Amino acid sequence: GAGVSQSPSNKVTEKGKDVELRCDPISGHTALYWYRQSLGQGLEFLIYFQGNSAPDKSGLPSDRFSAERTGGSVSTLTIQRTQQEDSAVYLCASSPGGPNNYGYTFGSGTRLTVV
């Protein structure tokens, strides 16, 4: 597509429920990133995909968080047993990848509220 698309744009869930957040990157972009933006924490890196592989998962806060990418395209971030501290905006970005990779494009984010 023309840009990075994220869905849903807003999600309200009850504490303890599982949620899935979706990211559809720019066509042809091999690299995909998830970030979390919460008050007082700035923009935190969560995970990086190159193709369908995730060579860097170092930012995932706990084992309740997981992500996958299929077909070198769409990615899903899953949060199990949500907690109130998971409330944040989850941003996805994609880029062409490779050594001359300067073109990071961000989606509009999913605002997650855990009540």
Reading the block at residue 4, the tokens are 């990075």
Return phi, psi of residue 76, to 5°: -125, 130
Residue 50 makes contact with other proteins by CB under 8 A = yes
Nearest to 72 by CA among 30, 108, 110: 30
Closer Cβ to other proteins, 31 or 114, answer by number: 31
CB 103, min distance to other proteins, A: 8
CB 28, min distance to other proteins, A: 17
Out of 23, 60, 93, 114, the only residue in the binding site for other proteins (CB under 8 A) is: 93
CB 42, min distance to other proteins, A: 5
Angle in degrees, CA 83, 35, 78, rounded to 5: 45
Residue 1 makes contact with other proteins by CB under 8 A = no
Q: Which part of the chain contacts other proteins (CB under 8 A), choosing from 19-27, 60-68, 70-78, 103-111?
A: 103-111
Q: Which residues bind other proteins (CB under 8 A)?
A: 4, 6, 31, 33, 42-43, 45, 48, 50, 56, 91, 93, 97, 101-102, 104-109, 111
